[in-house]
Amino acid sequence: MSATLPLSDFQNRVCRMIARIPRSRVSTYRLVAKALDCGSCRAVGQALRRNLWAPRVPCHRVIASDLTIGGFQGRRSGPALRLKRARLAREGVIFRNGKLADPTRLCRF
């Protein structure tokens, strides 16, 4: 078993930003990257894979820029994505035809 590595400054900044997304709202990897003055949506996704405080730091509230559900726990399908969808549904965030049903739930920083 490997030891948990500490988070980088960037990973901590991403987690602090994500913690600001209110319950029943979502943001996108692109909006988070822009708010952090980072040019890479993928870097945000990679940082969220290392979120040590989930679900208290709600990485499930970050979706793809095209308003599809995106990935979760480093996966794009399977049990991880079902868990993300279920967590969002419990908060009232619904996807229809693969996209965010209510775009007013989008949180911009």
**Environment class of 60 (CB within 10 Å of its CB; exposed 0-12, middle 13-18, buried 19+):** buried
CB 27 within 8 A of CB 21: yes
- The catalytic position among 15, 41, 59, 107 is 59
Pair of tokens at residue 93: 């965030």
Q: Is 59 a catalytic residue?
A: yes
Q: Which residues are catalytic?
A: 59
